[in-house]
Structure 1
Amino acid sequence: MTAPVVKGRCPGALNPMMSGDGLVVRIRPFNGRLRRAQADGIATLATAHGNGMLDISSRGNIQLRGVTDQSHPPLIQGLRHMALVDASADIEARRNVLVTPFWITGDETEVFAADLTEALTAGDAPALPHKFGFAVDTGKEPVLQTASADIRLERDVAGGLILVADGAGSGKPVTSESIITEAMALADWFLENRQDQNRMAALVKTGLPLPPGFIVPRQTQTYVPAPGYTPLGAMVGLALGQLRVETLSSLAKHGGLRMTPWRLLLVENARELPDVEGLIWSADDPLLRVIACTGAPRCPQGHADARGIARHLAPHIPQGQFCHVSGCAKGCAHPKTADITVTGTPDGLSLIRNGRAEDTPQATGLSPQDIIKAI
C-alpha cells in the first residue's frame, strides 16, 4: 500500500498547499479573533478568489479553498489590507498560537497572546518545526488541553500561572512578567535536546528530564465544548468544521468571531442569532460526535470521501463517544486518539478503536455499512 505523503507542514496564507480543489489558504487570526469587518472581508475574498467554501481547522484557523495560482496574489493583497497576514512566510510558520476564546478585553490572556505573538515574530525567535505550537489557556480553568499544542500557558488549581511542556503532568510556576520569556526558553530547550522529534510530547515521552522547576501539578480539564449561549456571546457549531461564505458573512453581522479548535465559533456579545443554514445549536446533534478531514476527491492523499462517510456514520455513533474519519493514515483533522477511528485505504475502510488513523486496525477492507454494524 502506498503511504501518504507527509509534507511536514500546514498550509499558510503566504505558503498555501495544493489540494484536489485548488490551493488551500490558511489564515491564522491574530489573538484568535476576527473583527466583524475582517470576517465579512474574508467572505468577500473567498467568493472572489476561491470556491466559496471555508474550513475551520483543529488549530482554530480559517481556510479558504479553491484558490488558484492566478487568484492567490490578489487574495493576499486583500488579506494584507485587513492586517490578516504576516510579513513573511517564515514568520507565518512560527506564529502558531491557540488562544482560549473565554477572555475579557484587557485581561491577562489577551496580553499574553499579543506578547507571545510579538516574541514569535521577532527576528531572533526560535526556528521551531512548522507544526510546533503554543496554547494560551490562562482562564481560571483549562479548556484547550485536548487541542494540539506543544508549550502551554495555564493556571494551577490555586490560580497561579504555570508553563507546561505538552505531555508532562506538571508545570513550572511563572509570573505575568516572566511567562513569555520562560516560554521562549522552553522552546530553546526543545530545539537543543530534540533528535528526530518535531513535537514536545514526543520528546517528553523519551524520558528526558525537563529543566528544573516543573513541579506544580496541572489542573485536569473538565470543560466539554458545546454550542449554546455563554456570558461572552453565542457559541455555534459548524458541521464537520465547514461553512459557506454566506454563513460567515451572516455571523459577522452580529459580532466579532473568536476561533476555537472544536469546530465551534464564539460570536461576541450575541444574544440572539437567526437560524442560519449550516449552524449547529444542539449539544446532542450527532454531527458533533464526528470529525473528518476533507478527504477524496478534494485531497489528493485521500482514499475515501471522509466527510460524506462521517455524515453517514454520525447518527450511529453512541452518545458520549467520538469518531474520527480520515481519508488516509495521516489523520490531519484529529492527530490524537478517538473512541472510533475510520481510515480510508486503497482497499476500503479500516476500523481502529481507541487509536489514531495510523494505528493498527481491528478490521480492514470495510464499507461504511460494515462500520455501522461493527459499532
Structure 2
Amino acid sequence: MLTRAELRKGWCPGARAPMQARDGLIARLRISGACLSSETARAIAGAANRFGNGQCELTSRANLQLRGVTPERLPDLLAELDRLGLIDADAAAEAVRNVMISPLAGLCGRADVTPIGAALEAALIDATDLHSLPGKFGFLIDDGGPLSLWDEITDVRFAFDQPRGKFDIALGVDAIAIGSCAPEEIVAVALRIARAFLAVGEAMPEPPRRMTDVIFGGGLAALAAAAGRPAPQQEWAPPRPAPPAPVGLLRFGDLSCFGAAAPFGRLSANMLAAVAGAAQTHGRGEIRLTPWRAVILPGVAPQEADALAEYFHAAGFIVSPDDKRLGVAACGGAPACARGTTPTHADALALAPLAGQLFPTGLALHVSGCAKGCARPRRAPLTLVAHDGLYDLVLDGSAFDAPSSRNLSLTAARNLLHAMAST
C-alpha cells in the first residue's frame, strides 16, 4: 500500500496551476462566495466545451472545475477566465484563497457573511507571507442559517451564534474551540491564526499540511498562544445532523429555492448551461454552489417546482432527496484518474441501493479509486478502496484506514453488502 507521502503526489489544482489527470488537465475555479450569475455559468460551460473535454465537476469546497484541458488550450482558457473575472493574478494568490461561506449567504442566514468572506479572500491575497500556507488549508464562515456548513472539513471555522452576536472559533476536523470574536474581527483573527500555524509548524519535525497535524502533533496550545486566543477547550461537538441533500423545492421562510445535485459531482458543460438557463428563466439569474455537489437556484416560484424537477431530471440531475445516489461518494476513478483501476462511478451506481438499505440516512458509501480518498477525505460507514482492479472494504473509516475485507471484486463486494443488509 502507498504511504501517505506517496499519495500526496499532486496538488490542489487551480486555473493558474492546473493538475494533470489521465483525461487531461484539471482547472479548478475558486468561485468567490460560491455564487455565479447565469451569464457567467453559461460562459464557463462554453469554455468547458471549447478548451476542455466538456466535463465539469462540483467539488466538496463548493468550487467548480473543468476537466480535459490540453496544454495547448490552456492559454486560451486562462484568457477567457480572466475576461470573466474568475482567476487571480498568479497561482500563489489563487491557492491561498480557500474560503467557504454558507451557500445562501445574504439570503436567509442570521448574519450576512458575504462581505466578510470577500474581505478575508482579499486579505489573504494581500498577505504574501501567507502564500506559503499548504494548498488544502482552508477557512469556513457559517452564518447560522438553515444549510449549515458546520460538519464540513476545514482548518479554521467561524460559526455565528445569534444570541451573543458573535462567531465561535474552532480548529481542525474535531472543532477544538478557541473562543469567539465579533463579526468585524474575523479577518484579523483568521490571519493571526494562519500566521501562528506557520510559526508553530516551523518547529515540527514534518511541516503540517492541515490544522489537524498541529493538533495531533501537540502544538495546539502553542498555536493558540501565538494567535492570542484563549487556551483550547475540549472538543466542541454541536449537533451534527446528517449531511443535507439540498435538492428539490427548498423553502426557508419567505424564500423559495430549487436544488439539483450532480451525480457524484460530475456534470457536463451542457448540464451547466441548463442550470444557467433555469436560473435565468425561473429564478433571479443567480446560482449558488454547495459543498454537497449540488446547485441551488434562489428566488423560484413554488408553483414551478414540478416543472423545475422535470427539467433538471431530464438534464441529468438528481432532484429527489430519496435518490440513493445521494448516499454515495465516488471519485473519477478509471479512466479519468491516473491512479484509478476501477470504474468507480459505475460501481457506485451498482452498489448504491444496497448501501442505502444498510444506512438509509446520510452518506452511506464511499467508493474511492485509491487510498487517497479524494471524494471524501473523512470517515464513512462503508468505504471501498480500489487497487489493481479490486476493492478493500473499510467499515466506519476513511480510505486510508485498515480494511476488514480485502481484494473484493465488484460482485464479491455486492454479495458482502447484501449479506450485511440481510442480517
TM-score relative to the length of structure 1: 0.94
1:128 aligns with 2:133: yes
1:99/1:339 CA distance change after superposition, 3 Å: same
Which residue of 300, 307, 318 corresponds with 1:270? 300
Counterpart of 1:146, as a letter, is D
1:164 aligns with 2:184: no
1:57 aligns with 2:59: yes
1:244 aligned partner: 268
2:240 aligned partner: 221
Tell me the CA shift for residue 128 of structure 1.
Answer: 0.7
Tell me the CA shift for residue 322 of structure 1.
Answer: 1.3
Which residue of 25, 31, 38 corresponds with 1:36? 38
1:205 aligned partner: 216
1:25 aligns with 2:27: yes
1:16/1:221 CA distance change after superposition, 3 Å: same
Counterpart of 1:229, as a letter, is L
Asked whether the equivalents of residues 349 and 365 of structure 1 are also in contact (C-alpha less than 8 Å), the reply is yes
Q: Computing the radius of gyration over CA atoms, which structure comes out larger, 1 or 2?
A: 2
CA distance in 2, matches of 1:311, 1:256: 31
Other structure's SS at 1:98 match: strand
5 Å matches for 1:1-375? 1=1, 5-7=7-9, 9-104=11-106, 108-126=112-130, 127-140=132-145, 143-156=148-161, 158-159=163-164, 160-166=166-172, 167-194=174-201, 195=204, 196=206, 197-207=208-218, 208-209=220-221, 210-211=224-225, 212-213=229-230, 219-222=238-241, 224-226=243-245, 227-230=247-250, 231=255, 233-253=257-277, 254=279, 255-271=285-301, 272=304, 273=308, 274-276=310-312, 277-317=315-355, 318=357, 319-320=360-361, 322-346=364-388, 348-375=390-417
Tell me the CA shift for residue 215 of structure 1.
Answer: 5.6
Q: RMSD of aligned C-alpha atoms? A: 2.1
Tell me the CA shift for residue 140 of structure 1.
Answer: 4.2
Tell me the CA shift for residue 220 of structure 1.
Answer: 2.9
Other structure's SS at 1:279 match: coil
Structure 2 unmatched ranges of 5 or more: 280-284, 418-423
Spell out, residue by residue over 1:174-225, the C-alpha distance to the aligned partner (whole angstroms, 9 max, x if none): 0122111011111111111122321112212334323342569563333641
Q: How many residues in Structure 1 have an aligned counterpart in Structure 2?
A: 375
Structure 1 unmatched ranges of 5 or more: none
CA distance in 2, matches of 1:173, 1:219: 15
Counterpart of 2:171, as a letter, is A
1:22/1:164 CA distance change after superposition, 3 Å: same
Asked whether the equivalents of residues 349 and 368 of structure 1 are also in contact (C-alpha less than 8 Å), the reply is yes
Tell me the CA shift for residue 76 of structure 1.
Answer: 0.8
Structure 1 residue runs of 4 or more that deviate by more than 4 Å after TM superposition: 1-5, 214-218
Asked whether the equivalents of residues 10 and 19 of structure 2 are also in contact (C-alpha less than 8 Å), the reply is no
Tell me the CA shift for residue 171 of structure 1.
Answer: 3.8
CA distance in 1, matches of 2:382, 2:237: 28
Asked whether the equivalents of residues 153 and 163 of structure 1 are also in contact (C-alpha less than 8 Å), the reply is yes
Tell me the CA shift for residue 13 of structure 1.
Answer: 0.6
User: What percent identity do the matched residue pairs reach?
Assistant: 33
Counterpart of 1:288, as a letter, is L
1:305/1:244 CA distance change after superposition, 3 Å: same
CA distance in 2, matches of 1:356, 1:215: 26
1:335/1:2 CA distance change after superposition, 3 Å: closer
Other structure's SS at 1:325 match: strand
CA distance in 1, matches of 2:190, 2:135: 17
TM-score relative to the length of structure 2: 0.84
1:141/1:169 CA distance change after superposition, 3 Å: farther
Counterpart of 2:28, as a letter, is R
Tell me the CA shift for residue 2 of structure 1.
Answer: 5.5
